[in-house]
Amino acid sequence: MSAHDGAESVYGRQKLAIEQLFNTKKDISLRGGLIIGNGGIVKEMVMFMRSKHLVPLIGGASSHCNL
């Protein structure tokens, strides 16, 4: 939803640029779900996890992670 010709956000424009690196008639179809970089949603998630010192895990699993 973020990646389209009229995208105003850096995230949407970057996602679209990555998708356009591939020839959809020849290569695989690519719709990246999460773009990792210096900022954006991944950075926000890391900052949240660091501030709370805990990470909710699906299915009640437990693990230790150093962020």
Mean pLDDT across the stretch 16-26? 79
CA 46 to chain centre: 12
Q: Using CA atoms, how far apart are residues 31 and 51, in angstroms rounded to an integer?
A: 31
pLDDT of 50 > 60? The answer is yes
Q: Using CA atoms, how far apart are residues 24 and 27, in angstroms rounded to an integer?
A: 5
pLDDT of 67 > 70? The answer is no
Query: What is the reported pTM?
Result: 0.42
pLDDT mean across residues, the chain: 75
Helices 40-52 and 10-19: crossing angle in degrees, nearest 10, is 120
Please give the pLDDT value at position 64.
58
Please give the pLDDT value at position 32.
63
Residue located via tokens 């949407």: 12
**Other CB atoms within 10 A of residue 35 CB:** 18
